[in-house]
Structure 1
Amino acid sequence: MITRRSIIIGLILSGIIGAGEPFTVLYIQGSPMAADYSTGAAIFLLFILVFLFNVILKRIFKKFYLTPQELITVYIMMIVACAIPSWGFTMNLIGLLGGIYYYATPINEWEKIIHPYLPKHLFPQDKNAIWYLFEGLPKGMGIPWKVWIKPLGNWFFFIIVFYFLSICLMVMLRKQWVEREKLTYPLTELPRELVKEKEPLLKSKLMWMGFLIPFLIYSLKGLNILFPSIPAPVLSHSFPIFNRTFTVRLVIFFEVIGLAYFMAVDVLLSVWLFAFLFIIETGFLRRIGYSIGPVLPFSDPAPQVVAFQSLGALMVLSVMSLWTARNHLKTIFLKAIGKIKINEEEILPYPVAFWGFVVSFLISIWWINRTGLKIIPSIFFVVVAILIFLGMTRIIAQAGLAYYRAPVIPAVSTLYTFGSKYLGPSGLTSLGMTFSWATDIRTMVMASTANGLKLSTQFRMNTIKLFWAIIGAIIITLISSSWCTLFLGYKYGGINLYSWQFSGLARFSMNWVKNFIKYPVGFGKLQFGFFALGGFLMFLLILARNYFLWWPISPVGLALGLPHPVFHTWFSVFIAWVIKAFVMKYGGIRVYNKSKEFFLGLVLGSFVTAGIWIIIGFLTHTERIIFTLG
């Protein structure tokens, strides 16, 4: 049952996540906890809730006890909140809106080439307010909040519409993915076990054994930063391949190992095997000097050949997911137009979800078009963005990757489809603005909603109350994260904070725009060729999976590509595969079920330790104590 107090607690903690993530990343420069699909901040705070309310305070005041449904309500709100404040949207947006003006110089020519095409209603118009955001306010001057109301209000309108679109799509696909295809949703395993009343996870000795491993090892790393005489454990190693043209990274992330253990064995094999093959392909291409263009934004370290292969595979995965759900989606359509009556167990009625998706889709196209992109490219961009988000969400639901990013971003897909000349300076500038929300896609509301709906199904909480709780969490997080990001910028000066959001992103995105305005490209024939190759290979893998029962490899890995998160985490997935394959072969399902608690401990220990060391870093004024993927 979703109670009033659970929603209130969820709103408070969503606000804390919204303000806490910018404070952690920008000021403390500690472990990002709300920047990835693993939603470390939600896990850390859920642990505190369970330990504080259901273990300690319960013994004194029984009224403080939170039921599993209440805890899951709070958790769903928190994982949605985790998708917003940092790489998901807010920090990127504010750094980009100000940085486009602050970093403009006669040398980079942004003022002449880009600024005439910036929609005034989307950017602050007070040059002093922008300058102070990066340099810090003079003594005695207040923060110019009014300058930001109009531009942030316009951006919030769009992003809330797109979030609503994402929620509607996940509502329509929940029954297909959860009940019919029975996807595993590995990221829901820990919260489900953590809130159990019978055989609670916090009383498991095996869980605490797993917990202690990252706690002790990460703490030694933290102590080494504070006291360099203390030796730090080595958790990574690199070695060159193909005559030192490329480097292989072997990194141990305990949270990745723990979450990967809950993937199916064939998915585990697919994830690490295709990552390894892409590494070999990348090294080989560098060795022979073959390239179809520079490394794409946010596709690094993968070359364009690998990136577009994976994009083709990801698109086929998305389309095939919709094709598989065609009968269910047809039923929803008939319900939406009043042709049939069916029982629904969703957080939104099917007609609302269907028409909500349609209206949000049209508004998104209209809004993107207003930023300077022509209507046909606007339609294309929104469709591609939805398909990329959908494919990634499907992968998260099936594979439960802690860290992941799209192989190619929607802006690049649009560029190589229409060419620079057709898009024009205004269209390219519009694409540059999408770098705030549709590029470094390490987390998103769509994936959080999918995981939330899996949990709500298991705990029988699919009611309209949950929808409004999610919307409330989104609004609170947008406000709190914007407030904290602006506050930190004006108080300390953005140039003194973590460099990416307040320095790197604006320069990177606008130089990308300027480059293609000055040096146009046409339709990417080679890019499309490798895109088609990846799609064809994905289609063959799906056919093999469906028609040959003995086929050992899931097609998921082909769609991952080799972006930064996959490049750094594939080895940890390999470790999980070795362990799980051994357990399943020699111990069977009984040993596997018992061993789950140990691997849940690895995940819980990783994020609780990261949270503790964020606090230690703040108290000791120590930066760069980072254990999660930075």
Structure 2
Amino acid sequence: MDKTTYPWRGLFVGAGLCAALAAIEPHVKMRLHTNGLCTDYINAGAVLFLFLLALALGPLRALTGRKWLDVPDLAVVFAMLAVACTIPSHGLLAPLLTLVTGASYYATPHNHFEEWILQRLPDWLLVRGEAARFFYEKLPPSEPFPVSAWIQPAIAWTILIAAVFLAQISLAALFYEPWARHERLAFPLVRLPAEMVRSAEDRGSRRPGHLLRDPIFWAGVALTFFIAGSRGLAFYHPETPTLPKISSWLAFFNGTTRILVTFSFVIVGFSYLLNTRVLLSIWFFHLLMKVVSGALILHGVALEGENEPWGGSTLLATHLNGGSMIALVLFGVWTAREHLARVLRDAWRGGH
């Protein structure tokens, strides 16, 4: 890329928004105890920040007479925010902080954490002793923050996490060509941000582009904001009137299996962006798994052991889901075999 067109402004704006996202998410989750901006896989925080940024660009240009961010800048901003969404919450820090401090804090003679975990791991990998206790029980006002107890674990885990992120980005780049050009995957989670980026591009007027001028779009935003906002107010002020949630469990096979029937704006929006054949497949195989699980339970077929908290309806369903994911990965590698072989040959020969 030519240095004169490199999106430096997008990098600076993206860095600032990533820092804001990293500061807001822990406050929302730990102090307000509500759904966070980075909780699930939809990158809600990245989409929200990009939406507000795209919305502000039109008035900014009208006031200053200059174009602040181009399409490449906005694309870089969203890419940075999408990656940042994986860090401050359930994607990384929430389980990592528990992993680093929990073994020491929850160690008792009964669970044998001391001899089974703490004695087998190096000191620089975990936060131990008083520093771990302060993390859970609050730092006393007169006590300085135990920086020395956190430096080595932070450095060690940062090196590993950076390597994992680099591997994930490299794999995504490696499989981009077969996914996007050969299989023509739709990437539905990127369609809305891409449309926002295009809408923010000035098209001869000083107003936002097509999407942000669409009355149907704003009707959907207003409806969703009204319902979600009223429920948010009711969470803190129970006297606030709000619409009841549409949610019910339907039991089948003598109550051995259940199906959740609910309404979700997120699922409605995501379904709109998906191919109908993919939607039908998800719906059909979900029902099929429920039927198979219920029938197996009625016939006394079950696996021994404890099911995963976020697994399937039964332990058998969880294992079937895991096997399906392995098969999907292997199928993806097989369909991309020619591209992967070409990449390996080019890498071995030093080609481009």
> What TM-score do the two structures reach when normalised by structure 2?
0.90
Question: Equivalent pairs: percent with the same residue?
Answer: 28
Task: Give the Cα–Cα distance (whole angstroms) in 2 for the partners of residues 85 and 280 of structure 1.
Answer: 38
Contact 1:42 1:78 survives alignment (8 Å): yes
Q: Which residue of 2 aligns with 1:71?
A: 74
Does 2:38 correspond to 1:38? no
Q: State the shift of 1:231 in Å.
A: 3.9
1:254-278 per-residue CA deviation (whole Å, 9 max, x = no partner) reads: 1121112121111100111111222
Contact 2:101 2:127 survives alignment (8 Å): yes
Task: Give the Cα–Cα distance (whole angstroms) in 2 for the partners of residues 215 and 229 of structure 1.
Answer: 15
Task: Give the Cα–Cα distance (whole angstroms) in 1 for the partners of residues 148 and 284 of structure 2.
Answer: 52
Q: State the shift of 1:158 in Å.
A: 0.8
Contact 1:137 1:143 survives alignment (8 Å): yes
Does 2:280 correspond to 1:265? no
Q: 1:10 aligns with which of 9, 14, 22?
A: 14
Task: Give the Cα–Cα distance (whole angstroms) in 1 for the partners of residues 186 and 135 of structure 2.
Answer: 44
1:251-305 per-residue CA deviation (whole Å, 9 max, x = no partner) reads: 2211121112121111100111111222223333344443112343344343222
1:485-513 per-residue CA deviation (whole Å, 9 max, x = no partner) reads: xxxxxxxxxxxxxxxxxxxxxxxxxxxxx
Does 2:63 correspond to 1:60? yes
1:202-243 per-residue CA deviation (whole Å, 9 max, x = no partner) reads: 100111122222112222322333243514322211232222
Contact 1:294 1:303 survives alignment (8 Å): no
> What SS does the aligned partner of 2:66 have?
helix
| Structure 1, gaps ≥5 residues long | 343-630
Q: Which residue of 2 aligns with 1:315?
A: 326
After superposition, where does 1:195-594 map in structure 2 within 5 Å?
195-196=197-198, 197=201, 198=203, 199-225=209-235, 226-228=237-239, 230-338=241-349, 341-342=351-352
Q: Which residue of 2 aligns with 1:110?
A: 113
Contact 1:36 1:83 survives alignment (8 Å): no
Q: State the shift of 1:314 in Å.
A: 1.6
* Higher helix proportion (structure 1 or 2): 1
> What SS does the aligned partner of 2:305 have?
coil
> What SS does the aligned partner of 1:60 have?
helix
1:18-45 per-residue CA deviation (whole Å, 9 max, x = no partner) reads: 2222221122112121132200000111
Q: State the shift of 1:48 in Å.
A: 1.2
Query: Given residue 260 of structure 1, which amino acid in structure 2 is its aligned partner?
Result: S
Task: Give the Cα–Cα distance (whole angstroms) in 1 for the partners of residues 14 and 156 of structure 2.
Answer: 26
Q: Which residue of 1 aligns with 2:149?
A: 147
1:349-378 per-residue CA deviation (whole Å, 9 max, x = no partner) reads: xxxxxxxxxxxxxxxxxxxxxxxxxxxxxx
Q: Which residue of 1 aligns with 2:206?
A: none
| Structure 2, gaps ≥5 residues long | 204-208
Contact 1:220 1:233 survives alignment (8 Å): no
Alignment: residue pair count: 339
Q: Which residue of 2 aligns with 1:173?
A: 175
Query: Given residue 78 of structure 1, which amino acid in structure 2 is its aligned partner?
Result: L
Q: State the shift of 1:190 in Å.
A: 0.6
Q: Which residue of 2 aligns with 1:124?
A: 127
Task: Give the Cα–Cα distance (whole angstroms) in 2 for the partners of residues 83 and 22 of structure 1.
Answer: 13
Q: State the shift of 1:111 in Å.
A: 2.3
Change in 2 beyond 3 A, CA 1:64/1:135: farther
Q: 1:136 aligns with which of 135, 138, 158?
A: 138
Does 2:108 correspond to 1:93? no
Query: Given residue 71 of structure 1, which amino acid in structure 2 is its aligned partner?
Result: L
Q: State the shift of 1:64 in Å.
A: 5.4
Contact 2:9 2:69 survives alignment (8 Å): no
Contact 1:101 1:130 survives alignment (8 Å): yes
Contact 2:37 2:45 survives alignment (8 Å): yes
> What SS does the aligned partner of 1:337 have?
helix
Task: Give the Cα–Cα distance (whole angstroms) in 2 for the partners of residues 211 and 169 of structure 1.
Answer: 35
Q: CA RMSD in A?
A: 1.9
Contact 2:302 2:316 survives alignment (8 Å): yes
Q: Which residue of 1 aligns with 2:193?
A: 191
Task: Give the Cα–Cα distance (whole angstroms) in 2 for the partners of residues 3 and 279 of structure 1.
Answer: 49
Query: Given residue 145 of structure 1, which amino acid in structure 2 is its aligned partner?
Result: V
Which range moves more in the overlay, 312-321 or 69-78? 312-321
Task: Give the Cα–Cα distance (whole angstroms) in 1 for the partners of residues 130 and 246 of structure 2.
Answer: 46
Task: Give the Cα–Cα distance (whole angstroms) in 1 for the partners of residues 40 and 245 of structure 2.
Answer: 24
Query: Given residue 115 of structure 1, which amino acid in structure 2 is its aligned partner?
Result: L
Task: Give the Cα–Cα distance (whole angstroms) in 1 for the partners of residues 142 and 104 of structure 2.
Answer: 24
